[in-house]
Structure 1
């Protein structure tokens, strides 16, 4: 079924359903799940006995946050923040907008920020500075994907799922103009779709 130039399959979005929109599939759902299990094991070990607060960055981190939390064996809490520097385009606007703050105090808490992707790192750098000013006991980052070639600021990311090429990617929480987030893999979007 095609809708507005996008291929849609009722029930769920898979690579076949959006094949005409993708230049390539970088990671399958199975590869992503395997990596999430590995990350969860590392976090379990590092945060044993610390009661961490996992902070998901909306909207993209919904998938990784849900999958990661289900794989953790340690006790943890979750909260959410929303910041934006994209709008509806494919490149960061450079202006960070704060859309939703945390609902809990993080003073003296072990905080793990969970991100879908580190692109330029500028938005995340701003967010980490904001959180650090609240004096957590520790502040670390887990990102499912990182684009090393695109990073424009130093981000100390303790947990990384995969380093990926500097391409416009969709799936596993990452979108283009609100679409493709529910593709379970990660794919490179064809330029003609967004140009």
Structure 2
């Protein structure tokens, strides 16, 4: 059990499961980009651990960049996305957007619009986690590590109001026994 601020979280996924999924994603992406040099665009803050491990397993040439977006307050998405840090010049490049988690899809919709305006050659989306029940957009998520239920999770880069990103495993919000 882990307590962050006022909430308790219970174990959900271990490091071995996470690393297996990350390695498989890296291999799939490397096969698809065998003759290209993609730019991996990590969405901060959440994707930093996932992107770091993804790069350890990725065996092709690549570039790495970051952008910082915000759409969460507490354990809920606000539905509005703001850009806090830009990604730099991506014009004409093949971009792989690296997300920690896709739930409603608002962040993805925002970043894809930015990429189109930048004039990228192509883009694909890679996410360690996808919540199919919560996903409300039509954009394809090209590379998905693990599909999970629509429950709030922390650890491995994901946080609850700033805490929990440094936890090496994934924890989910403890269920209320009265539910």
Question: Is the pair's TM-score, using the shorter chain for normalization, greater than 0.5?
Answer: yes
Partner of 1:65: 51
1:1-195 superposed matches below 5 A: 6=4, 21-23=8-10, 25-87=11-73, 89-103=74-88, 105-190=89-174
Distance in 1, matches of 2:102 and 2:136, equals 10
Distance in 2, matches of 1:134 and 1:6, equals 38
Give the CA deviation at 1:191.
6.0
Give the CA deviation at 1:122.
1.1
Q: 1:186 to 1:141 in 2, by over 3 A?
A: same
CA radius of gyration, larger in = 1
Q: Greater share of strand residues, 1 or 2?
A: 2
Q: 1:175 to 1:138 in 2, by over 3 A?
A: same
Q: 1:180 to 1:191 in 2, by over 3 A?
A: farther
Give the CA deviation at 1:21.
2.7
Distance in 2, matches of 1:98 and 1:6, equals 26
Distance in 1, matches of 2:103 and 2:30, equals 26
What count of residue pairs does the alignment treat as equivalent? 174
The answer to whether the Cα contact below 8 Å between 2:4 and 2:160 also exists between their aligned partners in 1 is no
Distance in 2, matches of 1:74 and 1:169, equals 31
Secondary structure at 1:99's aligned position in 2?
Answer: strand
The answer to whether the Cα contact below 8 Å between 2:70 and 2:82 also exists between their aligned partners in 1 is yes
Distance in 1, matches of 2:48 and 2:107, equals 17
The answer to whether the Cα contact below 8 Å between 2:4 and 2:164 also exists between their aligned partners in 1 is no
Unaligned runs of 5+ in 1: 8-19
CA RMSD of aligned residues (A): 1.8
Secondary structure at 1:86's aligned position in 2?
Answer: strand
The TM-score with structure 1 as length reference comes to 0.84
Give the CA deviation at 1:94.
1.7
Secondary structure at 1:153's aligned position in 2?
Answer: coil
